[in-house]
Amino acid sequence: MSLPLQGRTAIVTGAGRGLGRAEALELARLGAAVVVNDYGQPGRDGSGAAGAGPAEEVVAEIRSAGGTALAHTGDVADFAQAGALVGLAVAEFGGLDILVNNAGILRDRMVFSLTEADWDAVVRVHLKGHFNTTRFAAAHWRERSKARGGPVYGRIVNTSSEAFLAGSAGQPNYAAAKGGIVGLTTSTALALAKYGVTVNAICPRARTRMTEDVFAGLAAPEQGLDPLAPEHVAPLVGYLAAPAAARINGQLLVVHGGMVAVVERPRVRAQFDSKQETFTYDELDALLTPYYAALPDGETFAAAEVLGLKRS
């Protein structure tokens, strides 16, 4: 079997369960040494009883398959702890090559019911968590590139969501955080390209502990792989982390159920120019009102059609 990530070191955040777990296992299967991050107390399970926590369990699974891994139970939304995570990978394995940002939480409510705590918690874990680890990984690669006098190997795979693309009405905090991650992705991709680093984002659809309520009405099949299984997502993460994906940078891809869709960047649909030095209310009314009147009712910037994507 080909091991395209042999000799590489990867970090996967939120990797104790669900998507992160599947991604960590796939990276290890492809040859990478993996730092498995999952927030919690080391040596404790979810009930607080003594025993291995989720991160340690994934590490044990990787090691039992012949791979190399270690656990980190810090909070990636904490700036210092995120720095310690990157520092751990560098100290234990001599460097960092791959960062997969996956950690996240949900606090779903309509915008008129959303509390400040709901907003802050989701934006903190998703958006700030992505920034924190990215910041320290980027600094590491920049320093390595300067010392080497040329590009180095670096891959970041961020986790956005179809909730951002489609405008999920009951997830204003989550959709906003996931949209922010796309902005962080494209900005970082341009900033780090000269150092040899690629930065891409995926929008995965998967049945995990975090999304069990979202997909409660979609039962898993009795036989065969669940179309919503995280194992459909992990191979794309492994590919984006590999040398073969060197020309893929600043991209957004939707992945689930044996399907990958490349999302096109926003394009200008129409342009209106004032016939004077600047627009007046009446001129805008004459131009924009009929334009929008001709569009389908309910159409917004959101791309709700992505929710209909499926393997053909």
Q: Hey, which residues are catalytic here?
A: 161, 174, 178
Residue pointed to by tokens 């680890």: 133
Q: Are 125 and 38 in contact (CB under 8 A)?
A: no
Q: Which amino acid is at 109?
A: R
CB atoms within 10 A of CB 113: 10
- Give me the phi and psi of 202, to 5 degrees please: -120, 150
Strands 154-159 and 197-204: parallel
